[in-house]
Each structure stands twice: as structure tokens, then as C-alpha cells.
Amino acid sequence: MLIKSIFTNSSGILVSRILGFLRDVLMASILGANIFSDIFFIAFKVPNLFRRIFAEGAFTQAFIPAYARTKQKIRFSSIIFLQFLAFILVLSLLVTLFSHVVTKAIAVGFDAATVDLAAPLVAINFYYLPIIFVVTFMAALLQYKHHFATTAFSTALLNLALIAALLISKDLEKYVITYYLSYGVLAGGFLQLFVHILALRKKNLLKVFHFKQLNMKATNKFYKNFLSATVGSSTSHVSAFLDTWLASFLIAGNISYLYYANRVFQLPLALFAIATSIALFPMVARAIKNSDEQKALQLMRKSFLILLGVLSVATFIGIFFDQFIIQLLFERGAFTHQDTQNTALILTMYMIGLLPFGLSKIFSLWLYSNNQQFIAAKISMKSLLWNIIFSLALIIPYEAAGLAFASTLSGFILFYLTIKEFGFKRFYLLIKA
């Protein structure tokens, strides 16, 4: 079942990433690497950061173990859904009302004129967050039932919507294109929502939306774990966001270089590490709940060996063919050869950290399945603190490449601390068995 689930997730992610690269190729050709691409990436990065930390990472890591343990699954899931959705809708409204303040906070290096351009896009893109939270909630229910296909393949719908937006607007002014892209983000979110509703209906899971009076005490432990998981799952996403924030102080184009390089880096990370962790998590959580630690360790060992092999190959390819990859994917239209060289160097810096970031995801599941979200949060905070230190030390001499390498260094620290908590002896026995 593990291999089948990994393959399902990997296949869906591969389809999505192929379409994502097609989207990025079109975007690089039509927008290039300049102020217009920078402001769209800034606007889209805000809801993406919240989505990855709150709606996907932390929520799933806290929800699935709690959902597995509770005896009142319908009542528990209903109150969690309503509370989260209400909070996210209020947050989205506040971002709309104070979009200039939010934009200035996330791109301090932007001047007033650039902030004026970016602020409306930030407000539009942020409404992707409440849509995708509902999708994530539905996906968590499907994951618990070992149904991964809908979620894995539905991510392609966002890329299809953005590709359509680019094709429709390609002959318009560049700033107008960023508006088309922003509304394309929302359209993609609604498409994802639609297919998940169909999947839940087919699985007879729509009954979880049961809005009767509930016992609030049942959710207290979930929120404690969720807050810890929020910190614990945030390292790589906050690191990427920190890169963008600091890059706003550099010359125009650096934000785009970081974005394109990180997109390539995220392909093997998502295709192998994230796909494996999504499939592995509910299985490990169930085994831990049933006090079957040996089964959980066997599942983790199999996943570790698979990841170690494929991520090692991906690292080698990414480092030694960095310029060829960027040139093949992006160098056309407004994306110049100099842009390729700048992006390729950053890609190499990211790829060095592929193994530690990828393998950390496997062993962090052990902590989440054992309700040790607080420990995972402490590990994440230490890693993030080192990332900030490395970033400040490397940005002046090495600019955007230094920011990428700082993220990689923090990944090694994250891996070391995660294995330390998992147990060096247990880790040694696991890889030796």
C-alpha cells in the first residue's frame, strides 16, 4: 500500500509540476525577470506561505492524529472546520483593508511606487487561502481513508488556470497580465475545491459537515498540537519567504531568480519527499495509535531507503546540470542568458540541501505521530534562527546565491536536530536493519 500511495502522489505531483514548469516557461517568456514578475511573485507568495504552513503542513500534521484518536469524528471535524474557516476569512478581509501595509511588510525594499503596484495584487491573491483551506480539510479526510489521487492530481488545476490566464493576456501590458494571473489563482482554487467536493461525495464523507452544538474541550488538545506544528512545519517556507524579503533590497530580478531556482529545487522535493511523507503519515499515525512501533519503524525504513536513493540522484543532476536545466526551461523571450547564469548559481546552492530537507520530512513524522509537535517546533525554530544568521552573513558578499545557501545550511541543522530527537541509536538500527 505504501509504494502504491507514494506512486499515486508522485504521479499527481509530476503532472502538476510539468504543468507548473510550462506555466513558468510562459511566465518567463512573457514577463521576464523584472519588476512586474517580482510584484506578482510577492503577491502570490503571501497566501502560499500561509497555505503551506497553516492550511497544509501544520493543519494536516495536527488534524490526522487527532482525527484518528477521537471517537466523535463528525463533531470534531465540523467544529475545527468552522473555526478555521472563520479565522481565515477575517484574516483575508484584514489583508484586503490593509494591503499596502502588508505589502510593505513583506517587501521592505520596495519603494512607494512599487508598493502601490503590488498592493492590489496582494489583496486579490490572498483570497486563495480560504479556498485552499477548504480543499486541504477535505484532502485530510481523504488521506485518512487512504485516498490520495484527487488531491495529488488536483494541484494541476491551479497551473492550468494560470496557463490559461497567461495565454489570454499575453499581448496586453505587463502590469495588466499580473491581474489576469491573480484572478487565475482564484479560478484554480475553485477548480480544486470542485473536484474535492465530488471526491468526498463519492466516498460518502460530506456528512462530516455536521454543524450542531459541539463540546469545545474536544478541540483543546488539537489546537495545542496545531500551534506547535505551525512552527514545526514552517522552517523551509519561512526560509524561502525570508529569501524573498531580503532579496527585495537587491536589484530588480533577484526575487525572480530565487523563485525560478526554488521552483526547480521543489520538483524533486515534492515529487519524492513530500509525496512519500503524505503517503506515510496516516500509516505511521495509525501504527502508533495501535501501539505497533515496529510496523511504524519498518514503514519509515522503507521510505528512508527510497528517498535516499532518488534524492541523491536528483542532487547530482541538479548540481552538475544546473545551467543546462535553467536554459532549457526558461531562457527564451524576455528571459536572457545572463538571467540563466544568475538563476543556475542559485539552483546549485539550493540543491546541496535537497537531501537534508527531504529526509527531515520522514523523521519529523515520527514526532508528529507521537504528539511531539512542541519538540518539532523547537527544532524548527533553532533551524530558522540559524538560517537568519547565515542569510545576514551571506547576503552582502554573495547576494541572492548567499541567501539560497543560507537556507541549505539551515536544512542540515534541521536534519541533525530531527535525527537527534528521533534517537541516534534508533536511527542507526533503522538504517542497518
pLDDT tens digit string along 331-362? 887 788 999 999 999 999 999 999 999 999 89
User: Pick from 54, 40, 167: which is nearest to 107 by CA?
Assistant: 40
Residue 271: pLDDT band with limits 50, 70, 90? confident
Share of the chain above pLDDT 70, in %: 91
Q: How far apart are CA 28 and CA 22, in angstroms?
A: 10
What pLDDT is attached to residue 397?
Answer: 92
More confident residue, 62 or 102: 102
What residue has cell string 536544512? Answer: 411
Tell me, what's the pLDDT at 180? 93
Residue 373: pLDDT above 80?
no
- Mean pLDDT across the chain: 85
Say how far apart CA 34 and CA 394 lie, in whole Å.
23
Per-range mean pLDDT, top range of 106-110, 162-166, 267-271, 370-374: 162-166
Segment among 40-54, 144-158, 343-357 with least mean pLDDT = 40-54
Domain that holds residue 108: 2-432
Which tens digit of pLDDT belongs to each residue from 202-253? 887 777 665 555 555 556 677 777 777 776 666 666 777 777 778 878 887 8
SS3 411: helix
When mean pLDDT is compared across 114-123, 187-196, 272-281, the lowest value belongs to 272-281
User: What is the Cα Rg of the chain in Å?
Assistant: 21
What confidence tier does 327 reach under pLDDT thresholds 50, 70, 90? very high
390: cell is 547565515
Q: What's the rounded Cα separation, in Å, for the pair 178 and 192?
A: 21
- Rounded to the nearest 5 degrees, what angle is found at the Cα of 11, between the Cα atoms of 270 and 418? 30
Over 80: is that where the pLDDT of 107 sits? no
Q: CA 94, CA 289: separation in Å to the nearest integer? A: 40
Return d(Cα 53, Cα 59) in angstroms, integer. 8
Secondary structure of residue 210 in the 3-state scheme: coil
Report the candidate in 338, 132, 361 with the shortest Cα–Cα distance to residue 254: 338
Long-range contact set of residues 65-69: C-beta below 8 Å, sequence gap at least 24: 65/225, 65/285, 65/288, 65/289, 65/368, 65/369, 65/371, 66/221, 66/222, 66/225, 67/140, 67/141, 67/144, 68/144, 68/282, 68/285, 68/286, 68/289, 69/289
Question: Would the pLDDT of 150 be above 90?
Answer: no
The pLDDT value given to residue 381: 87
Cβ atoms of 253 and 34 within 8 Å: the answer is yes
> Does residue 51 surpass a pLDDT of 70?
no
Q: Show the cell assigned to 217.
A: 474541550
Q: Helix, strand or coil for residue 180? A: helix
Q: Which residue has the higher pLDDT, 290 or 392?
A: 392
37 closest CA partner among 174, 170, 242: 174
pLDDT at residue 213, as a whole number: 52
Name residue, grid cell 487565475: 184
* Total domain count, the chain: 1
- Cα–Cα distance measured from residue 107 to residue 123, given in angstroms and rounded to the nearest whole number: 14
Q: Which three cell numbers stand for residue 77?
A: 471535524
